[in-house]
Structure 1
Amino acid sequence: MALAQELYGTSSCRLDSFVARWLQPSREWKEEVLEAVANVEQFLRQESFHGERWLQNQEARVLKVIKVGSFGTGTALKGTAEVELVAFLSCFCNFWEEAKYHTAVLRLIRKKIQYCQELLALGLRDLRIDEGVPSALVFTIQTRTAEPITVTLVPAYRVLGSSVSDSPPPPQVYVDLIKASYSYSNYPGIFSPSFSELQKNFVKHQPTKLKSLLRLVKHWYQQYAQDMQVTVEQWGYADLILWVNPYEPIRKLKERIRRSKGLVGLPRLSFQESGCKRQVLSSHCSLADYGVFCSTRICLLETVSPEIQVFVKSPNGSSQAYAVHPKSFVLNLKQQIEDRQGFLSKQQQLEYEGQVLQDWVDMGYYNIQDSDTITLSQKPSAHVRYLHS
């Protein structure tokens, strides 16, 4: 609040000095953050991704990595602990492929990045895939002296090609975008990263005063912008009132509702504007995606079972279905397999996308989704004959 009073006591002719003193990061701090992020960029540029069935024997390479957001446009605030990256991949030849294989690419990058020695030396941790529009790979690394920074990585289709100029893209780009957006109309903004170079260059080449203004607006938002009130209605029950950031994924709102009401599964939610058709809220979107920025009322329709079905492929080629909770340990699935097939859990080895699953890690950590297939084999050190069911 003291900084806010300082701002309101600053005359317009001295705003540049205020920004330089209080909001603009020091050159040393910024260079230290970018030095740590450079290790991520180097890993992405040098790594090749292959061996997945959906790649159809082609090699996926990172064509270019760019910094977007405040670090990309040169409008970062002092103490900013988040850096956003967009990686353009060779395996995305159009918008449809980007949308279809986006999650698979994230899993593939996550599988590779967790063994990168340079990033492990920087204290790589909290590696996860965050659902959103679009979904992103998120992790934390440590700088030399500053606070840990969070890196958000989004793979994208390089629609603008190798050279990005200030002139408008060819008209066909917008034709393809409109067609693809029509197919994925429930996820507005899903193809935005493909145009991030245009967005970045537009701000980056603007006068310093405009960047100072953007920093002031960000500072004001952090100081004064309030979460919005969301009233959750459910027939026959008292209303539940929550304070929500409109830009957070709706899945987080559903989790809060589930915990507050003691529900077993995630709820389905609907929203209706005055005079408009009622629509079901997608977990992948935010309230802002639906144009909701102020206090509103939503309806809890029903709850969805939290369990998912996975298929376990045995050494003999057969496959059996098991019901698991995303937050249950891998060991729980092994115990189910032992009960049904007689294959002792301590002798089992489960693999998903080439990664060996650890007993005391939850299924959600590996981003295992409904109907995914897990491979079962005998641990190399085990010498007990497998009992076929």
Structure 2
Amino acid sequence: MEPSQDLYETPADRLDAFVEQSLQPHPEWKEEVQDAWQRSERFLRNHCFRDELVGDQEVRVLKVVKGGSSGKGTTLNHSSDVDLVLFLNCFSSFQDQAQLRGVIISLIEDKLTHCSRSLAYNITLAQQRETTRVPRSLSFQVQARKSSEIIGVDVLPAFDALRNFCPDSKPPPEIYENLITTYGCPGEFSPSFTELQRHFVKSRPAKLKSLLRLVKHWYLKYLKRKYRKAALPPKYALELLTIYAWEMGTNENENFNLDEGFIAVMKLLRNYEDICIYWTKYYDFKNEVVRIFIKKQLKERRPVILDPADPTNNLGRERRWDLVAKEAIYCLRQACCWTEDPSQGWHVQPARDVQVMVKQMRQESWTLSVDPYNPIWKMKTKIKKTCGLFGQLRLSFQEPGEDRQLLSSRRTLADYGIFSKVSVWVLETFSPEIQVFVKDSSGQTKTYAIDPDDTIRDLKEKIEEAGGPYVENQILRFQGRKLWNHRSLSDLQIEDCDTIMLVRKGHSSPGMP
């Protein structure tokens, strides 16, 4: 059943009424969806696996969790996607889920075909697309009992990775380390984290859920219908983007103007190539395996939208965001986005500020908050003002296992794929000094400001003063050749930002005599 009024023709100041009258689910429809859920759940729990063995083990249902829009509390009137996530005892690991999922889905399909009468519904199994991959879910449709409406149901077998952890708490990082090292396809095991995904949305205020319904209605009516065969982003990606816009635009205020929120989301979609968002509610950077993986994810081609419950699930990946942006641009020209004072809307950056830890030799470290899309020269200006510096600043950073990199004034942190907390080393130089990086056998790099006419011995003395080996215990190499004490850096054609290798006498680094 379609809303009686078209969204694009609805004035911006009437969007609240549009949601309440056209999108908010009526009690009768909510009852239909709940009834379909309960009957499906009872069938799966009590009838589907009776006397069934998988791998010489009797299959038991540990729990059934409601996902989708009905689980999150964002159901649209006469439109619903009911996800039943089925946690089974035969899955004792993510590997088990990957290996046995196809067997379980085939078993459910057979039982539905032969025992659908126990559901007291007209059941229609969805046609499975031809693919070489084992299906992750089983889809079927049921007809509502009191109307001609169709309710879609997806059954997703899953490993109970959380083991009854409370959604309000942060799971042990070992769970995510295990997920990452299993090497499944991106987001393959997301059903295991359904309870966290559901709580992340369901716990939000009612007004935000109205905005979520509005964005979802826009997605279904104006995107899905227009581009039926295109690989569009999932609705969940737009839900997360909407939650992010609300967090950034209102500082999580429960009272806001619906039109301002809708416009903010459309503007983000218009500028999708800059989006890089993630949360640290359920996983963070403290565990080394998880930290390295997240940082790698954040360097992927944008848009990057990491599932707050599953870091392997980048919802921005390989989708037709250009089509989404095209429709968002058109939407911004419609009556639903016309406001009296557009400048009073939400200010939403496409990525959160980055916490930059500023480090300077023999000085105490301090933290600076930086918009990743601001040019580096703005950060230099703040550092100069805070530290009382007057010379030229050279900023550099180093990721574990990688060489030190200089930050160019004309570029941004985003250009270097930096969207999370980072340490930046500051070196104040006075012309004609250059900066050189000295990397030791452990992979650690330090920066030194030095006159190009100074000798290699002068550099060695600086290294000793900074806590390095004594001058006589140092061997310096550049581009594979040993550097002698009496030669100057300019003679050796060592230039600004070059890297010199330091070897302590008595030690040798790989590939060196």
Q: CA deviation at 1:60?
A: 1.3
Q: CA deviation at 1:288?
A: 6.4
Structure number with greater Rg is 2
1:140 to 1:227, Cα distance in 2 relative to 1, 3 A? closer
Q: Percentage identity across aligned positions? A: 41
Structure 1 counterpart of 2:195? 197
1:99 to 1:112, Cα distance in 2 relative to 1, 3 A? same
Q: Which amino acid aligns with 1:169?
A: P
Q: Which amino acid aligns with 1:104?
A: V
Which among 4, 7, 10 is matched to residue 7 of structure 2? 4
1:151 to 1:167, Cα distance in 2 relative to 1, 3 A? same
Q: CA deviation at 1:43?
A: 0.9
After superposition, where does 1:129-168 map in structure 2 within 5 Å?
129=128, 135-146=136-147, 147-168=149-170
8 Å Cα contact 1:85-1:152 kept in structure 2: yes
Q: CA deviation at 1:73?
A: 0.5
Q: Which amino acid aligns with 1:244?
A: A
Structure 2 counterpart of 1:219? 217
| Counterparts of 1:189 and 1:133, CA distance in 2 | 15
Q: CA deviation at 1:135?
A: 2.1
8 Å Cα contact 1:24-1:78 kept in structure 2: yes
Could you list the per-position Cα deviations for residues 263-309 of structure 1 after superposition, in whole angstroms to 9, with x for gaps in the alignment?
Answer: xxxxxxxxxxxxx9xxxxxxxx99964355337xxxxxxxxxxxxxx
Q: CA deviation at 1:117?
A: 4.7
Q: Which amino acid aligns with 2:318?
A: Y
Q: Which amino acid aligns with 2:111?
A: K
Q: Which amino acid aligns with 1:29?
A: W
Q: CA deviation at 1:57?
A: 1.6
8 Å Cα contact 2:144-2:151 kept in structure 1: yes
| Counterparts of 1:247 and 1:88, CA distance in 2 | 26
Give the aligned length.
Answer: 240
Report the secondary structure of 2:179's partner residue. helix
Q: Which amino acid aligns with 2:232?
A: P
Report the secondary structure of 1:177's partner residue. helix
8 Å Cα contact 2:232-2:319 kept in structure 1: no
Q: CA deviation at 1:247?
A: 5.1
Structure 2 unaligned blocks of 5 or more: 235-300, 302-312, 324-513
Q: Which amino acid aligns with 2:218?
A: W
Structure 1 counterpart of 2:179? 177
Q: Which amino acid aligns with 1:3?
A: D
Could you list the per-position Cα deviations for residues 18-72 of structure 1 after superposition, in whole angstroms to 9, with x for gaps in the alignment?
Answer: 21111111011111221122111001111335555xx232111111112211111
Q: Which amino acid aligns with 1:18?
A: F
After superposition, where does 1:59-98 map in structure 2 within 5 Å?
59-98=58-97
Q: Which amino acid aligns with 1:150?
A: G
| Counterparts of 2:91 and 2:316, CA distance in 1 | 28
1:165 to 1:82, Cα distance in 2 relative to 1, 3 A? closer
Report the secondary structure of 1:21's partner residue. helix
1:89 to 1:128, Cα distance in 2 relative to 1, 3 A? farther
1:51 to 1:84, Cα distance in 2 relative to 1, 3 A? closer
Could you list the per-position Cα deviations for residues 194-249 of structure 1 after superposition, in whole angstroms to 9, with x for gaps in the alignment?
Answer: 001001011111100110110111122223326898xxxxxxxxxxxx9624359x
1:192 to 1:161, Cα distance in 2 relative to 1, 3 A? same
Q: Which amino acid aligns with 2:145?
A: R
Report the secondary structure of 1:290's partner residue. coil
1:81 to 1:214, Cα distance in 2 relative to 1, 3 A? closer
Coordinate RMSD, CA, aligned: 3.2
Q: CA deviation at 1:120?
A: 5.6
Of 89-98 and 121-130, deviating more is: 121-130
Q: CA deviation at 1:116?
A: 2.3
1:19 to 1:212, Cα distance in 2 relative to 1, 3 A? same
1:116 to 1:164, Cα distance in 2 relative to 1, 3 A? farther
1:101 to 1:38, Cα distance in 2 relative to 1, 3 A? same
What TM-score results when the alignment is normalised by the length of structure 2?
Answer: 0.42
Q: CA deviation at 1:5?
A: 3.9
Structure 1 counterpart of 2:46? 46
1:150 to 1:165, Cα distance in 2 relative to 1, 3 A? closer
After superposition, where does 1:354-365 map in structure 2 within 5 Å?
none
Report the secondary structure of 1:225's partner residue. helix
| Counterparts of 1:215 and 1:162, CA distance in 2 | 29
After superposition, where does 1:1-389 map in structure 2 within 5 Å?
2-7=5-10, 9-11=11-13, 15-47=15-47, 48=49, 51-52=52-53, 55-119=54-118, 121-126=120-125, 129=128, 135-146=136-147, 147-180=149-182, 182=183, 184=184, 187-225=185-223, 244-246=230-232, 289-294=317-322
Could you list the per-position Cα deviations for residues 89-145 of structure 1 after superposition, in whole angstroms to 9, with x for gaps in the alignment?
Answer: 111011111011111110111122222254563111235555679621111212122
Could you list the per-position Cα deviations for residues 297-346 of structure 1 after superposition, in whole angstroms to 9, with x for gaps in the alignment?
Answer: xxxxxxxxxxxxxxxxxxxxxxxxxxxxxxxxxxxxxxxxxxxxxxxxxx
Q: CA deviation at 1:154?
A: 0.7
8 Å Cα contact 1:227-1:243 kept in structure 2: no
8 Å Cα contact 1:125-1:139 kept in structure 2: yes
1:50 to 1:290, Cα distance in 2 relative to 1, 3 A? farther
Greater strand share, structure number: 1
1:167 to 1:145, Cα distance in 2 relative to 1, 3 A? same
| Counterparts of 2:24 and 2:126, CA distance in 1 | 29
Report the secondary structure of 1:244's partner residue. coil
1:89 to 1:103, Cα distance in 2 relative to 1, 3 A? same
1:108 to 1:247, Cα distance in 2 relative to 1, 3 A? farther
1:286 to 1:105, Cα distance in 2 relative to 1, 3 A? farther
